[in-house]
Amino acid sequence: MSGVLLPRRQLIARAGGLVAAAGALPLLSGCDAISEAPAVRKILSMGEEMNRASQRALMDRDALAREFTRADLSPVFRSNGTKLPDGAAYAAHAATRFADWRIAVSGLVARPLSLSMADIRAMPQRTQITRHDCVEGWSAIGEWTGPQLRRILEAAGVKDRARYIVFRCADRIDDALYYESCDMVDALHPQTILAWAMNGAVLPIANGAPLRLRIERQLGYKHAKYLTGIEAVASLDHIGAGKGGFWEDRIDYEWYAGI
């Protein structure tokens, strides 16, 4: 019977060892292991889609973000992310006050465009005083002026196949250009504008000069700064790492940032 007993004893010893190991493991790193397990991440990430679907169901397609008055403006509008893009090219543009800056409209459009800042300023303008919400938790209220993105997309003739708009930027973080994207609901939203002015003055460099996106129903990292291009696409799979934005690709921020 020793042939039976021995394995059993080994089994007990092994089980005991496992228990001891589990006890010795810091409980907290166990939690982190759970947090990073692919299956857990997948389940937890369902929250993003539930939030997107429920918010879209609850709100009117064109439901507006709260607009404030000039009395509500933040005394200092905090800038975040890139405050001054690197490189000689951007510096040269800044030196000429972005006189030669152009923004390309490309992808699934009938008429690709290359717009100058003069073209942007010549379009019908929208001014809105809105709250900027950082994913980190702070908020600042600013006044923004610029053309609605929908007018630019109409001018370019976005094709029906386009499902997303990708925003290309001039600022490089860790050797990759910043980018963001949104679906057509937010792209065509009346408050989605390309702002070239803030608080009644030309947009400062720290806040994205010469042109930045305002996408008022989502968090700050969606508001791409230093815009160089707008691209209509059918899928985000082959843009960057495929998650639809710089931080989405790198540190797993949600693509739908309405919450």
Partner 1 sequence: MAEADSPDVPPAPVPEKPAPVRVYRHRLPTRIWHWVNAVTLLVMLMSGLMIFNAHPRLYWGQYGANPDRAWFAIGATADTGYVRFGETRIETTGVLGRWTDAEGEEKTWAFPGWATIPTSYDLAAGRRWHLFFAWVLSAGLALYMVWSLLGGHVRRDLHVRRAEWSPRHIWDDIKDHARLRFPRGEAAARYNILQKLSYIGVIFGLLPLMIFTGLTMSPGMDAAWPWLLDLFGGRQSARSIHFIAAWLLVLFFLVHILMVILAGPINEVRSMIGGWFTLPPERESEA
* Neighbouring residues of 212: CB distance < 8 A, sequence distance ≥ 6: 194, 195, 203, 223, 224, 225, 226, 227
Residue 131 binding partner 1, by CB under 8 A: yes
State yes or no: residue 258 binds partner 1 (CB under 8 A).
yes
Contact status: 138 vs partner 1 (CB under 8 A): yes
Site for partner 1 (CB under 8 A): which residue of 148, 207, 218, 228? 218
Contact at 8 Å (CB) between 182 and 215? yes
State yes or no: residue 32 binds partner 1 (CB under 8 A). yes
251 contributes a contact to partner 1 by CB under 8 A: yes
Among residues 205, 111, 97, 109, the alpha carbon closest in space to that of 159 is found at 109
Q: Cβ atoms within 10 A of the Cβ of 85, count?
A: 22
Crossing angle, helix 38-58 and helix 27-36, to 10 degrees?
60
Per rule CB under 8 A, is residue 64 in the interface with partner 1? yes
Give the number of residues written for the chain.
259
Cα-only R_g, the chain:
24
51 part of the interface to partner 1, by CB under 8 A = yes
Residue 185 contacts partner 1 per CB under 8 A: no
Q: Does residue 190 touch partner 1 according to CB under 8 A?
A: no
Segment contacting partner 1 (CB under 8 A): 58-66, 145-153, 163-171, 228-236?
58-66
Asked whether position 174 contacts partner 1 by CB under 8 A, the answer is no
Region of 12-20, 83-91, 144-152, 248-256 interacting with partner 1 (CB under 8 A): 248-256
Q: Is 182 in the site for partner 1 (CB under 8 A)?
A: no
Q: One-letter amino acid identity for 144?
A: W
Output 12 or 185, the one with its CB closest to partner 1. Answer: 185
* HSE-up of residue 76 (Cα within 13 Å, Cβ side): 4
Task: In whole angstroms, give the CA distance from residue 254 to residue 222.
Answer: 10
Site for partner 1 contains 199 (CB under 8 A) = no
Locate 184 and state its tokens.
């057509």
Q: Which residues contact 219 (CB under 8 A, 6 or more apart)?
A: 133, 134, 135, 257, 258
Query: Using CB under 8 A, which of 7, 17, 47, 200 touches partner 1?
Result: 47
Give 90 or 255: the residue with its C-beta nearer to partner 1.
255
Which residues of this protein are in contact with partner 1, per CB under 8 A?
26, 28-29, 31-32, 35-36, 41, 43-48, 50-51, 55, 58-60, 63-66, 68, 72, 74-76, 78, 131, 133-141, 216-219, 251-254, 258-259
